[in-house]
Amino acid sequence: MKLIIKGGRIIDPVARKMFFADVLVGEGKILAIGTDLGGEGEQCVAVDARGKLVAPGLIDMHVHLRDPGFEAKETIETGTRAAARGGFTSVACMPNTDPVADNKAVITYICARAKEKGLVNVFPVGAITAGCAGEQLSEMADLKAAGAVAVSDDGRCVANSGVLYRAMQYARMVGLPIIEHCEDAGLSAGGLVHEGYISTVLGLKGIPAAAETIMVARDIILAEATGCRLHVAHVSTAGSVELIRQAKAKGLPVTAEVTPHHFSLTEEAVVNFDPNTKVNPPLRSAADVRAVREGLRDGTIDVIATDHAPHTVQEKDVEYGLAPFGMVGLETAVGLVWTKLVLPGVLDPVEAIAKMTVNPARILGLSKGTLAVGADADITIIDPEREEVVDPARFASKGRNTPFAGWRLKGLPVVTIVGGKIVFRREGIIDGG
């Protein structure tokens, strides 16, 4: 069965341009892009994309699917449904599961489970160290052979510089990027929110910006020393943005991502003590948010990734200090990117899409993120005019832990296509053609 997407505006993040064309899909691949592609007469499903943007399938390189081990929070099945509903056709999942994805067996399980139950493509990230404990290196060659696309101890920073140094040498040798969660545990210990005026007024222990920035500095030094590709996860401070900017100017192999919550919210969001605002790294100052947006604008920040971190209602519905860190992000990401970055002119649509397609694909070495003839037919259709109020009760994710409930977002994914199959269609989208 073929599929034709008609009348949409194509976003090509590789050539950095937009143009009107139809897209013909068959056998899981993009068969043609252009006008007068036919499709009539044959058995062909038509999707009316007039007034919509047709982008390569979005890639979220930082999600927690919680499977194996924490299936009450999320599973590969529910997490990939959330991804599809959020417009993502591929996700990279972090290894802080139970057991930790620090060995071949767990990576193999994730790939097999994703094949069986996953609605979108799943690319596992292996651990840097056994149990993400920061001591013994994992067998990165094994992890890569089993399907891992990167290594990370996300949720924790590799505290011991000697361990990270050797990890970078090993990762470089096997050709995997290191995704670092930059946090100096000595500086952040016991902290709940960003350290500043708000933490003082609320009487909540703070996490200073320096807890992140200091480790970004160390990691850049080690990336330079080893030649290992370093990707800095969830950048939240102005200092980190500046260090990454300098590293790139020196030509170092450093890339970085920012989450929608860190470019959309400041520390002010925590004043109602809503545990859904508790996240690590914490929501930062207005100056940090400005710096992060500037980093997105000037290209210092390559990627927008959600750090989708589902938790159960029971875990989150407790006093601030007791709640786990993390918020869900897959189903609000595109709306926040459009509402907070594209509509205000921080990023044009092509740049915004590049940060969710070709840029993460290149970092992880995936042959995805482009709309070219012969490429996998992973496609996301976005309606830039569509508005909706965020209602966590409608999430496909098991997680309801979002601080964006009730927000009106404009610019939403309306159709998600993975390998030529429609896996999500927002209500009210009717086939034309």
What count of other Cβ atoms lies within 10 Å of the Cβ of residue 308? 31
Q: Is the peptide bond before 281 cis (omega within 30 degrees of 0)?
A: yes
Numbers of helices and strands, H then E, in the chain: 14, 18
- Pick the stretch among 71-79, 200-208, 243-251, 307-315 that binds Zn ion (CB under 5 A): 307-315
The answer to whether residue 325 forms part of the interface with ligand DOR (CB under 6 A) is yes
- Write down the least CB distance from residue 411 to ligand DOR, Å: 25
Q: Is 282 in the site for ligand DOR (CB under 6 A)?
A: no
The reply to whether 155 sits near ligand DOR by the rule CB under 6 A is yes
- What span, in angstroms and rounded, lies between the C-alpha atoms of 138 and 203? 40
Asked if 107 interacts with ligand DOR (CB under 6 A), we say no
| Residue 279 interacting with ligand DOR (CB under 6 A) | yes
C-alpha to C-alpha distance for 117 and 317, rounded to whole angstroms: 29
Tokens 């269609």, located at residue: 425
Q: How many residues does the chain have?
A: 433
25 belongs to the binding site for ligand DOR (CB under 6 A):
no
Pick from 304, 170, 184: which is nearest to 233 by CA? Answer: 304
Q: Does 262 interact with ligand DOR (rule: CB under 6 A)?
A: no
Could you give the angle at which helices 286-298 and 238-249 cross, rounded to 10 degrees?
20
Q: Strand pairing of 151-152 and 178-180?
A: parallel
Nearer to ligand DOR (CB atom), residue 74 or residue 378: 74
Catalytic residue selected from 22, 102, 184, 307: 307
87 binds, among ligand DOR, Zn ion, none (CB under 5 to 8 A by kind): none
Contacted by 279, from Zn ion, ligand DOR, none: CB < 5 to 8 Å by type: ligand DOR
Sole window of 185-193, 263-271, 323-331, 411-419 interacting with ligand DOR (rule: CB under 6 A): 323-331
DSSP 235: -
Binding mask 154-173 for Zn ion (x = CB under 5 A): x-------------------
Residues 80-99 that bind Zn ion (CB under 5 A): none
CB closer to ligand DOR, 25 vs 256: 256
8 touches 381 (CB < 8 A)? yes
Name the minimum Å distance from CB 14 to ligand DOR: 31
Q: Which of 307, 331, 376, 383 binds Zn ion (CB under 5 A)?
A: 307
187: closest CA among 271, 324, 308, 282?
Answer: 282
| Phi, psi values for residue 149, rounded to 5° | -105, -5
Q: Does 280 bind ligand DOR (CB under 6 A)?
A: yes
Measure CA 384 to chain center: 20
Q: Which residue is nearest to ligand DOR (CB)?
A: 326
| Residues in CB range of 144: below 8 A, 6 or more apart | 126, 174, 175, 176
Q: Is residue 360 a contact point for ligand DOR (CB under 6 A)?
A: no
Q: Which one of 65-73, 284-292, 299-307, 316-324 is the stretch in contact with Zn ion (CB under 5 A)?
A: 299-307
**Considering the rule CB under 5 A, would residue 288 count as an interface residue with Zn ion?**
no
62 touches ligand DOR by CB under 6 A: no
Least distance (Å) between residue 280 CB and Zn ion: 8
Least gap, CB of 307 to Zn ion (angstroms):
4
Pairing type for strands 2-12 and 17-26 reads antiparallel
Q: Is 320 in the site for ligand DOR (CB under 6 A)?
A: no
Closest C-alpha among 304, 354, 359 to residue 333 = 304
Report the distance separating Cα 153 and Cα 143, nearest Å.
14
Task: Please report whether residue 293 would count as binding ligand DOR according to CB under 6 A.
Answer: no
Q: Which does 357 bind (CB under 5 to 8 A by kind): ligand DOR, Zn ion, none?
A: none
302 is annotated as an active-site residue:
no
Give the Cα separation of 11 and 24 in Å (integer).
15
Taking the least distance from each CB to Zn ion, the nearer of 91 and 382 is 91
Q: Does 257 bind Zn ion (CB under 5 A)?
A: no
Give yes or no for residue 276 binding ligand DOR (CB under 6 A): no
Q: Which is nearer to ligand DOR, 267 or 376 (CB)?
A: 267
Residue 253 makes CB contacts below 8 A (sequence gap 6+) with 223, 227, 228, 229, 230
Binding mask 102-141 for Zn ion (x = CB under 5 A): ----------------------------------------
H or E element in which residue 298 lies: helix 286-298
> Residues 22, 7: contact at Cβ < 8 Å?
yes
313: left (phi over 0), alpha (psi -120 to 50) or beta: alpha
Q: What are the residue numbers of the active site?
A: 307
Binding-site ranges for Zn ion (CB under 5 A): 154, 307
Binding-site ranges for ligand DOR (CB under 6 A): 64, 96, 154-155, 181, 279-280, 307, 309, 324-326
